[in-house]
Chains A and B, each alone.
Chain A
Amino acid sequence: MNDIILYTRSLGKRYGKRWAVKNLDLEVQRGDVYGFLGPNGAGKSTTIRMILSLVKPTTGETVIFGHSLVSHRTKALRQVGGIVEKPDFYLYLSAYKNLEIVGALCGGIPRARIDEVLELVGLRDRASDRVKTYSHGMKQRLGIAQALLSDPELVILDEPTSGLDPQGMKEVRDLILHLSRDRRKTIILSSHLLSEIELVANRMVIINKGEVVVHGEVNTLLDQGEKYVIIQAEPRDKAASVLRRQKKIIRQIKEKEGKFEVIMDFQDIPLLNRSFVRAGVDIRALIPRRSLEDLFLSMTESETEAAR
């Protein structure tokens, strides 16, 4: 199960003097749902564009199913399907005709397969409608349909839940899990939401400013480092007293901007909560946090500040 079906070596892309992606080494194993996480502008889409041969790398290479994208592009992409950023189509054509066009580029796809993928994404009834009449969510689903059309072993989805409502996001997540578990697809899923990756991916990489910040098993990464709970409670002196009494479960207490940051295991949160209730302390907020979230939030915040 651990054979590598896609890897990049020193992959880099420079635009003028700026490196959008620099020395990126990725390894995707068969069966992975591989989370590709980073704030906006981190280089995720540039990397995916390089992996799908839309953009020529300045340095390094991508090897897919043992074929270099530089020397054997066609062979490398034979078992790959994908969406890059928002899915765009020939708006004046029907969904069915769009998929026929994609099918022709994949070497010819039987009509039954087109029907099958349209059924899978719930668009069978609207197949003959022009895509310009579709909502954003429907286009997103059609994007997934075209990615799956040739029944590829590797599916690359670039921000597939972008712009969807919560229900739409859940449907896409469920579809990804279905593809991974029931159809044995390997999936690369890019996102700027850690929570999204956490829900579906088994391995992940976080990139920022075009470079890898951290990578590994999702559970390992989430478990490692400090876990703490942010507590906002009233009255504060009473709450502080309760916290000081819980020496068995609390390793460290910090007070910051009127809140407590308490280092402890998340499994002990109910126990602490009961102590607060017994002492007559009102809990305003109780937020479990992990260092990986902090790391990611700090990257996202710095990106937002830079944008301002």
Chain B
Amino acid sequence: MIRLIYYELVKVFLKKRTYLGFGIVLLIVPLVEVAMKLEGGRFLTMAMRGLARDFFFFGSLFNGWFVSHQIMNSLWFHIPLLISFVAGDQLAGEATSGTYRLILIRPVSRSRIFLAKYITTVMYTILFVFFLAGLSIGLALLLFGRGDLIILLRGILILPEADVAWRFGIAYLVAVWAMITIASLSFFFSSFVENAIGPIVATMGILIIFSIISVLPVELFEIPKKFLFTRHLNLWQKIFQDPVPWNEVQTGFWHLGVWTLASVLGAWGVFVKKDILS
């Protein structure tokens, strides 16, 4: 199995499209952070103008932690899109290139090939999210320095600097879990089609539709809303609440886990029974 995973990793990491996501992150994150540096925290000043009348703020709240926290918001849409580029290509890419005919005639079960491909997808997802984390936090701390973290979400919360690093660690772990759900969903769509564009469009379509349903104040959607995974894509934000609502985090964690499991089992069911006609 390790050998199968190794060669799946070889296939993924010797493919140009794999680096598309890394390239975009490598371009966008420094660009955003440098732009924020040049802007000199005007955004934060404007957001806090009202509060300045009633409070005194000591030190710089416009620091590396604040910028890193802002960048985490890309986990809503942009990072899922980039992850689905690779996850959606995992099975559909083999169909497109005709290489199913090369690999599925071997004396190894389809389930093992499937598992190797899925594990590779998960490994890519983990690596990609941690690449985002490392780059955004590292560069932000370098450019803006340290300090307390101000959270502007339904009010204002200031977390002391000593209480921030572990929260970023846990938040990114939770984000990885959510992105694995996205990757699994893309993987699921990938098992159906013979073109890698389909899974990307389907994943993003689901993400957009579910996100709209999640925020629509329509009574008809109240019950379905509770089961949509998009409700938990912001699970990482809960780690920056004080105190952390661990029960909610746990619920979201399991909820995402069920979506992941259902996607993987669905993809497996399709893959092992699929007639290879490409």
Contact = CB atoms under 8 A, between A and B. Distances in A.
Contact of B109 (A74, A87, A104, A107): A74
B220 interface: no
Nearest to A81: B105
A97 B102 contact: no
A80 B98 CA distance: 19
Contacts of B113: 105
Contacts of B7: 100-101, 104
Contacts of B11: 90, 93, 101
Interface string A76-97: 1110101011111111110001
B156 interface: no
B73 interface: no
Contacts of A56: 273, 275
A107 B276 contact: no
Q: Which of B15, B100, B101 has the most CB of A within 10 A?
A: B101
A146 B103 CA distance: 10
A55 B276 contact: yes
Interface string A90-130: 11110001101110111110000000000000000000000
Q: What class of interface size applies to chain A in its complex with B?
A: 35 or more
B10 A88 contact: no
Given A55-B277, A74-B108, A92 B99 contact: no
Q: Which of B4, B7, B273 has the most CB of A within 10 A?
A: B7
A106 B275 CA distance: 21
A97 B273 CA distance: 28
B154 interface: no
A104 B4 contact: yes
B104 A89 contact: no
Interface string B16-28: 1000000000000
Contacts of B275: 49, 54-56
Contacts of B10: 93, 97, 101
B14 A77 contact: no
B250 interface: no
A111 B11 CA distance: 19
A102 B103 CA distance: 7
A142 to B, nearest CB: 10
Nearest to B15: A92
Contacts of A97: 10, 14
Q: What class of interface size applies to chain B in its complex with A?
A: 20 to 34
Interface in B248-269: none
Nearest to A52: B105
A101 B7 CA distance: 6
Given A49-B276, A104-B7, A54 B106 contact: no
A74 B98 contact: no
B105 A90 contact: no
Interface in B1-48: 3-4, 6-7, 10-11, 14-16
Contacts of A82: 105
Contact of A77 (B15, B102, B106, B277): B106
A87 B14 CA distance: 21
B97 interface: yes
A173 interface: no
B243 interface: no
B142 to A, nearest CB: 35
Contacts of A93: 10-11, 14
Interface string A46-83: 00010011111000000000000000011111101010
A97 B3 CA distance: 13
B107 A106 contact: yes
A104 B3 contact: yes
A88 B103 CA distance: 10
Nearest to A13: B275
Contacts of B14: 92-93, 97
Contacts of B106: 77, 102, 105-106
A91 B102 CA distance: 12
Given A49-B276, A104-B7, A105-B4, A54 B107 contact: no
Given A97-B10, A101-B10, A101-B11, A54 B101 contact: yes
B103 A54 contact: no
B269 to A, nearest CB: 13
A54 B278 CA distance: 10
A54 B100 contact: yes
A106 B277 CA distance: 22
13 contacts: A49-B275, A55-B275, A55-B276, A74-B107, A80-B105, A91-B97, A92-B15, A93-B10, A93-B14, A100-B7, A104-B6, A105-B107, A105-B108
Given A54-B101, A88-B98, 7 more contacts: A73-B109, A88-B102, A89-B97, A92-B15, A101-B102, A101-B103, A102-B103
Interface of A: 49, 52-56, 73-78, 80, 82, 84-93, 97-98, 100-102, 104-108, 146
